[in-house]
Structures are given as structure tokens and as C-alpha cells.
Amino acid sequence: MGSTTLKIEDLIVDKLGRWKFSPDKFVSQIPTVLLDKVKVRWEAAMQTRKDIFEQSLRKLLPNLTNAKVKEEMKKNEEKMMMRFHTCLILVKEIEHVVKDATSMWENVYYLHKPNEDLVEI
């Protein structure tokens, strides 16, 4: 039974990731025991997403204090597309999240490197 439950749990987590749903969409459709297991994995993916955004900020601006990093995380939370990036982590597209996090912080702090391919006319 445990192996079957794990397979079903994996399928549900995969569907969450692919359909960009949160576990709340399945409340009426799956047993509470299974939903609780899925929520644990969802919360772990949410924490991973948060860690990636925080680490990206620290890498780009290493002189920021811990308090300033927390402040910037909170202030820019709406730009992080939390559910979307959590779903990407569930389907193991972590590199995509790292790239998006870096790009977001570069946009916030105007850190994009000039494009050397530009041709002025």
C-alpha cells in the first residue's frame, strides 16, 4: 500500500507542477491523508523557491545586510510569481527558477550588463 500511495502522491505533485495548481485545488478531490502529504512537498518547494530568490539577491549584492535582504524579499514578493516558480520546482525545473530570480533582481536593481551586440545607427 505504501508504494502505491507514494506513486499516487508523485502523480499528484507532478500534476500540480504541470498545471500550475496549488494543493488547495484538490481539497475536495483527494483524501485528507494524501492531501497532507502533498502539502508537505508543496511547502518544501515553496521554501526552495524562497531560498533561490534570496540566494540570487545575495549573490548579486553581497554587501546587503540580512535585514535588508529580508526587507527586499518582502517588498518584491509580488514579482516572484510564487505559485508559478513553486510549480517549476515541483517538476524539477530549478535552473529556470534560478535564471528568473537572477533576472528579476537585475531588473529591480538595474544591474543588466550592456548588450555589446547593439549597433547604433
pLDDT of residue 48: 98
Residues 6+ apart with CB under 8 A from 88: 17, 94, 96, 97
The pLDDT, as a whole number, for residue 19 is 87
User: pLDDT at position 6, please?
Assistant: 74
Tens of pLDDT, residue by residue over 27-77, are 899 899 999 999 999 999 999 999 999 999 999 999 999 999 999 999 999
At residue 77, the pLDDT reads 95
pLDDT tens sequence across 78-88: 999 999 999 99
Contacts of 50 (CB under 8 A, 6+ apart): 73
Q: Where are the domains of the chain?
A: 2-108
